Structure 1
Amino acid sequence: MATDKRAALETAEDALFDETFEADFQLDEQPTKGEVWKFLNDTAGQGEHSNLYWDFPLPDGSQFSDAKWSILYRSIQAGVDAMFETRGHQRARRPGSLSTLSVSMRYFVGWMAIFGHTDLSCMDATRFDDYAHWIEMTKCRNTEDGQKSVTVLHARSLLAFPATLFRYNEVLQGQGLPPIPTIPYSGRSVMEVANDICKRANEGYQPVPDGLFVPAMNKVVQWLDCQIDEIQEAIDCYLRPYAPKFSGAIKAAKRRDELAKLKFSSDKDTGQPWFAGFNFSAPITATRHYTHGKSRRGRKVELNAGHAIRHLLNAARDCCTIALQGTVAMRISEICGLQVFDTKSINEWPSCVTVERSLSGMDELFFITGTVFKGKAPPRPGRWLAGTRPVGSSDIPIPIRALMKLVRLYAPWRRMSGRSDLILDFSNRVGLAKEKEKVSPVRAERLNEGQKEWIKEYVKAGPEFDNWDLSSHQWRMTFARFCVRVDRTLLPAISRHFHHISIKTTEQHYTGEDLEIRYLIREAALELAAELLYDATRSKGQASGRLMEEIPEVVEEMGHHVDMDNADESQAFLRATMESDNTWGWDMLWCGCLFRPEHAKCHLKAAVRKIIPIAPALDALGPFSSCSQCKNQIVLPRHRPFWEERRKKLIAERKGNKEKGLSDVDFIIGYRLAQCNEILRRIRRSTPS
């Protein structure tokens, strides 16, 4: 039986490469009319409804709704229905994932039809292997440039559909339908199988390369300073009522005259006006490189005044969304979901911006408030740190400036439509919306295409980026990796900022095992280790921490090799020593850490143990817990602000406990306060108060 099945599979493989058969095996045709499931979409940037079409053509010429597929049809429907219901601790899928699910479902059903499988009871271990092999043949073939036809993540989504159905066997049995009889892929994870059939590991989203990111962000700042204001002036000029008592032709003529007077500044890269202006003696043209309709891509089109204004409005919008994603790392759905109301927050900031004082009281923190749509959880409030400035400064962070520009750009259409969305779109194909019915929320795909269009048209980067297929998600990758390059201990903060469920998500999918980053982190960590140790040798009794027990030995050894008064020589010697010992330096607010895994107390309390740790356990750090008794800890004068602030809080907390009659718990506060006092006493020995 196995031999006959394998022979049939090999025959099908041979047929796959026959042009006639390959032309027939297309599952991307439009579905015919039939049963449609509509799901209400609550994710910003997507359509109001997501639709799942059940009647579609199969490779053998039949329709999925035909009677011979009735058991498979009902089984797939029961499984998909269960996926969108919350069951116990398992949350329902979000409607936004329906597009990917539909592709995977139709591909799996097409494979079942090719081999004549009419229900899920056929899916034994061999059939799962055959399905994976089929995906490898049809979707993972090499192209001319040596790359695979699909990404690992796409292969994973195809593999995952029958594996997901297996989880709902109980639902199938409850409806009298045959379940899947065996564990999918012999218990291997679908990602592992996808890596195997694609013959490479999952690379995920890649960050925007520095060669593109740097000129793009420089251009964003230029536009925020100048070009967007010029676009705003052009929009105001176009919308201003002219000669209200006269005919439409006279109004249009007066509008053209005013637009023709507008002057546009020179681009800093080319020295030429960045926009030619409204010289109506010559046509205004634009080339759409990434328009949603593929047939229109690469075509140069002529624009009248209204079309040109919309073209400029979209360019300003795209610049601002790049500013928000590149400097705040918000998801595109979170930007689409931002709301602006007539009421403004304190100091006349837009209503989606809040400003708070830092703990020290010396800085102002800017937060963008909105909605998080990611994951299976319902939409929930979220906020993102968007920048800081010293108290009294008039500087406005880049993302806040971009947000304020967007507030003003779309203000006329918010008033017209009564909508509160920060960014709006127009349902009319060209020109500006003139009726409120034509104003709609913006779609995420528009912003993604617009960002690529803006970079293609206005950013001067190297030729290697001419056809760079930018994804809006890549800005988040760049942001995360930049932060990790600055300080690895920022990982928990990045995870919270990204609204990830766990640090593992951030580390695995955003910071990753990037060899370049690991090298940069290692170099920075070794330099910091040498710096911390040198400061400790020169502290003259100001430093504290258990690492200080080893300092006399370090000083003695260093004195045999270098002039200890020469900072460069001393730090070079210490760096070489740290490198040979594989000791990395990390700096926290309350202490420095010369990390040696054999002494690390934090890893004893960490949620996840690492075989060869190279850094403190970020989820188990604390000035009064693991660090205080650790031989890796050293507290230097640079850490004084933390301990002074901590001392003030402890004194206030002890006073509050006394007023509440809770003096019996003061022994903990007393212990911590004594620790603060001892550290500060050492630091203050020879430093000004």
Structure 2
Amino acid sequence: MRKKKQPIQSRAINFDVMGARAVSEKSYWGDDIWYLKSASSFAREPRLNWKFSLPGGENSLLEKHQVLLASFRETVLGMISEDSGYGKVLSPHSTLGMMAGARDLFRWMVKCGYKSFADLDGQALEIFESDLPKILADRFKFFGIVPGVYDRPRRPVNAPLSSSGEEEVDFVDISSEIFELDEDSETSYDLDEEGAERSEDYFSYEQVSLRISFIFYAYWQSDRFDRFNLPTMPAFPYGGEPCGAIVSRIGTAYCKIIPPFPDEVALPLLTSALNWVNERSKDVLDLVDIYFDALEKDLNPSVELRKFKFSTLEGELGPWRAPIDFEVSEYINHDGWFNSSPLQTFRNVVLNLSGACLIIILFFVGMRVSEVCSLKGGLPSKKKNVAICLEDAFTKDSLTRLFFVNGVTSKGRQFPAKEKWLVGSSPVDSDVMPPAVKALCVLEKLFSKWREVSSLNDLVLNFSRPRGMPRDHSNITPSKTDTILRQIRQFIYTQVDLSALPDESIHGESLVIYRESRGLCIKGHHGRKTFSAYILETRSSLLRAVSQHFKHMNVSITESAYFPAVHRLRQESESQRTADSVAFFVDVVRGEKLAGRMAERIETFFKSDDLKKLSDKDLLEAVEEIVTTNELQVFFNDAGNCFIRANPKGSRCRMAGGGASWKGVKPDYMARSASMCAGCECFAAHRAHLPYWTQREERLEEQARSPGYNPREFRVDERDRKQAKAMVILLSKKNDASRKRKELNEL
């Protein structure tokens, strides 16, 4: 163990000397991007980008962070140099993982106000350990940042080529940035990868290790820091405790880090995926046939593909996309739009269809990504036009046909085991396929020709070269979890428009990260969580069935990881709001006097003779049906009730907050006020709100009687005083609805 050293801060830091050093044949220490030399001639060169977003809208290259950034650069360089104090020289490719941990540590230090590694004493490291689970759960929310690569505006796929005549991009360089997805290198350590995760919803060992190990790396480079007068760590991290022990302690912290999708995100995502599978797949499959026919006849595939005309979908005026040609395409793993050749455009269309099918399987079946990777392709016979991984059966009454998919699962098992999942059902005499069955059949047909070429039998294949289309087995490999996730994210990024999402869902869930990242925050496990949430929130008695479907060892695992208390509480909250809304409308039927611009509409709707004739019990049931059918839940407040769902376009608080729309069915709590609500088209108050307006009137009357009060000078207060007085008069009229409500509550 190294001796405790005091940080050197009095001497000037030699930035010029450090910056002039070469870190590779292509890069210097002070460059914004390091291109490192790969140890293998067959591997792509690692690319390290030192410019990344920080809390407060800053970036890492600002001068105020110069010392901290220099320490991080020196740590990375030291770990791959022969004079590394670590005792082991890491390969250049390992720096990709190091950068994932470095970015989060750098941001955390900036957020906490730590200027250098000298500030990381025992107390600071304890804080980092406690904050790390929150960072891993949602780094964007914790740091308040959105990666810069996500901020580019959307551009039509068929936008005209640049007049500058830009050459086609070298996709080898682009694909080397795959570790930069989500500004993290964890695409290969995704929660769904076999062996990467200790338990269903624990943080993976690798996720935590990438963050904690960098602190130890920085300590072992103290001699390099001294050489350039950089501040060093005051002592061995964590009091000498081994890195592995700390990682295990955090990695096994039970934390449900992936929530189910809000409806506002799931609907556009699944709608787009279903459109591709049901409507567009035939054209794409025809394109694949044209491509291989051209190869077989020794024709130019690009020329033949450009002749194809896409079909016009029902309800559309023209083809759903322009013919295959040179066009500008967007890629998630590079910051820009690029000119694509016809073959590259064809490749994009094929992989988009594959991504749509994978989304349908993950969200409609709830399989893990690793389990999808295990599915096999090929037709069992020429007569049976379904994938070999599919089989069917019939219910005991022979009225329903059940579809199962055969795969392999290794989660929680010592050895991989064959399993089958129910993927859909349909009436025996129906020709309509369930969505997941259709997606599996499309994948079977989509990659069938490439299976013949490569002699592989995997359902989903990967084109190993990032450019063009493979013609022989050398460029075709089985898909892994990272390649499947890449296809899914590429589809979401380019084919699903989330730009119109509001800040919050109808249930109060934040939608900002989905909108700002354009869906790149979505993980494969989101499908599994969304599938279970839909089933269990619809019918919680199916918990055991979901547990068996997910191949869990017991129901408690399913309940804790897939049906947590927060979702049960959300149901209870919605039920309570509905019950309160029903009670309010019953009061209206019984003669409760309302005030406000929505009052007349409510009274007209609910004061029908048919409702008045009902008994108390029947009235309660009738009003409850009206409320639930028309989603007339009321937002209650001391000043009055908000009926924004009945008239979203008339909401004054939504207008003040940036614009009212039919999607805005929840009040803008930051913008609204009592005086604003009282004049809103969505507002209505009754006797229960009288105390609020009485107190408001008394306070404003007292202010009006104070010396020096001038109504012309205090025009806003004078308006509020008259408004409060009018509300008190309207709400003071007597009625007997309160007695009726008491009787109903006793039922």
The normalised TM-score by structure 2 is 0.47
Q: Which of the numbers 232, 235, 238 marks the counterpart of 2:285?
A: 232
- In structure 2, the partner of 1:252 is 300
How much has 1:60 moved relative to structure 2?
9.5
Rounded Cα–Cα distance in structure 2 between residues aligned with 1:457 and 1:73: 42
Matched residue of 2:257: which SS? coil
- Give the RMSD, CA atoms, in angstroms: 5.7
- In structure 2, the partner of 1:417 is 454
How much has 1:317 moved relative to structure 2?
0.6
- In structure 2, the partner of 1:146 is 144
Rounded Cα–Cα distance in structure 1 between residues aligned with 2:6 and 2:537: 53
The farther-off stretch of 317-326 and 432-441 is 432-441
1:92-491 equivalence runs, <5 A: 131-133=125-127, 146=144, 153=203, 156-157=208-209, 190-191=249-250, 204-241=257-294, 244=297, 251-252=299-300, 256=303, 259-266=306-313, 272-278=318-324, 283-290=325-332, 292=333, 294=334, 297-304=335-342, 306-344=343-381, 348-375=385-412, 377-464=414-501, 465=515, 467-469=518-520, 470-491=522-543
Rounded Cα–Cα distance in structure 1 between residues aligned with 2:100 and 2:300: 49
Matched residue of 1:59: which SS? helix
How much has 1:402 moved relative to structure 2?
0.6
Q: Which gives a bigger RCO, structure 1 or 2 (Cα 8 Å, sep 6+)?
A: 2
Structure 1, residues 88-108: CA drift from partner, whole Å, max 9, x if none?
xxxxxxxxx999799779999
The answer to whether the aligner puts 1:520 opposite 2:571 as a matched pair is yes
Rounded Cα–Cα distance in structure 1 between residues aligned with 2:530 and 2:461: 27
In the superposition, relative to structure 1, how do residues 143 and 213 fare at CA in structure 2: closer, same or farther (>3 Å)? closer
Aligned residues: 442
Structure 1, residues 361-396: CA drift from partner, whole Å, max 9, x if none?
432221111111435633221221111123333321
Rounded Cα–Cα distance in structure 2 between residues aligned with 1:130 and 1:366: 55
In the superposition, relative to structure 1, how do residues 518 and 380 fare at CA in structure 2: closer, same or farther (>3 Å)? same
Rounded Cα–Cα distance in structure 2 between residues aligned with 1:143 and 1:213: 20
The answer (yes or no) to whether the contact 2:326–2:340 under 8 Å persists in 1 is: yes
The answer (yes or no) to whether the contact 1:57–1:64 under 8 Å persists in 2 is: no
- In structure 2, the partner of 1:499 is 551
1:522-537 equivalence runs, <5 A: none
Letter in 2 for 1:299: W
Ranges in structure 2 where 5+ consecutive residues have no aligned partner = 20-28, 41-71, 106-115, 148-182, 185-201, 215-238, 502-514, 580-613, 629-747
- In structure 2, the partner of 1:579 is none
Letter in 2 for 1:276: A
- In structure 2, the partner of 1:568 is 621
Matched residue of 1:463: which SS? coil
Letter in 2 for 1:363: T
Letter in 1 for 2:338: K
The answer (yes or no) to whether the contact 2:291–2:304 under 8 Å persists in 1 is: no
Rounded Cα–Cα distance in structure 2 between residues aligned with 1:302 and 1:455: 19
The answer (yes or no) to whether the contact 1:263–1:277 under 8 Å persists in 2 is: yes
1:593-632 equivalence runs, <5 A: none
How much has 1:352 moved relative to structure 2?
0.6
How much has 1:289 moved relative to structure 2?
3.0
The answer (yes or no) to whether the contact 1:371–1:382 under 8 Å persists in 2 is: yes
The answer (yes or no) to whether the contact 1:357–1:365 under 8 Å persists in 2 is: yes
Matched residue of 1:482: which SS? helix
Q: Which of the numbers 55, 65, 75 marks the counterpart of 1:59?
A: 75
Structure 1, residues 208-256: CA drift from partner, whole Å, max 9, x if none?
3322211222222222222110111122122214894xxx5xx339x73
The answer (yes or no) to whether the contact 1:100–1:157 under 8 Å persists in 2 is: no
In the superposition, relative to structure 1, how do residues 208 and 351 fare at CA in structure 2: closer, same or farther (>3 Å)? same
In the superposition, relative to structure 1, how do residues 285 and 348 fare at CA in structure 2: closer, same or farther (>3 Å)? closer
Letter in 2 for 1:392: D
In the superposition, relative to structure 1, how do residues 361 and 457 fare at CA in structure 2: closer, same or farther (>3 Å)? same
Ranges in structure 1 where 5+ consecutive residues have no aligned partner = 35-55, 77-96, 109-113, 117-125, 163-179, 196-201, 529-560, 576-689
In the superposition, relative to structure 1, how do residues 363 and 260 fare at CA in structure 2: closer, same or farther (>3 Å)? same
Matched residue of 1:415: which SS? helix
The answer (yes or no) to whether the contact 1:288–1:298 under 8 Å persists in 2 is: yes
The answer (yes or no) to whether the contact 2:460–2:478 under 8 Å persists in 1 is: yes
The answer (yes or no) to whether the contact 2:376–2:407 under 8 Å persists in 1 is: yes
The answer (yes or no) to whether the contact 2:208–2:247 under 8 Å persists in 1 is: no
In the superposition, relative to structure 1, how do residues 68 and 439 fare at CA in structure 2: closer, same or farther (>3 Å)? closer
Rounded Cα–Cα distance in structure 2 between residues aligned with 1:223 and 1:236: 18
- In structure 2, the partner of 1:510 is 562
Structure 1, residues 482-528: CA drift from partner, whole Å, max 9, x if none?
1121112222222222233443433333333325x523257669999
The answer (yes or no) to whether the contact 1:345–1:353 under 8 Å persists in 2 is: no
In the superposition, relative to structure 1, how do residues 155 and 236 fare at CA in structure 2: closer, same or farther (>3 Å)? closer
In the superposition, relative to structure 1, how do residues 454 and 501 fare at CA in structure 2: closer, same or farther (>3 Å)? same
Letter in 1 for 2:464: S
Letter in 1 for 2:540: R
In the superposition, relative to structure 1, how do residues 106 and 33 fare at CA in structure 2: closer, same or farther (>3 Å)? farther
How much has 1:399 moved relative to structure 2?
0.5
The normalised TM-score by structure 1 is 0.51
How much has 1:404 moved relative to structure 2?
0.4
Matched residue of 1:371: which SS? strand
Rounded Cα–Cα distance in structure 1 between residues aligned with 2:330 and 2:410: 30
Q: Percent same amino acid at aligned positions?
A: 19
In the superposition, relative to structure 1, how do residues 137 and 31 fare at CA in structure 2: closer, same or farther (>3 Å)? farther
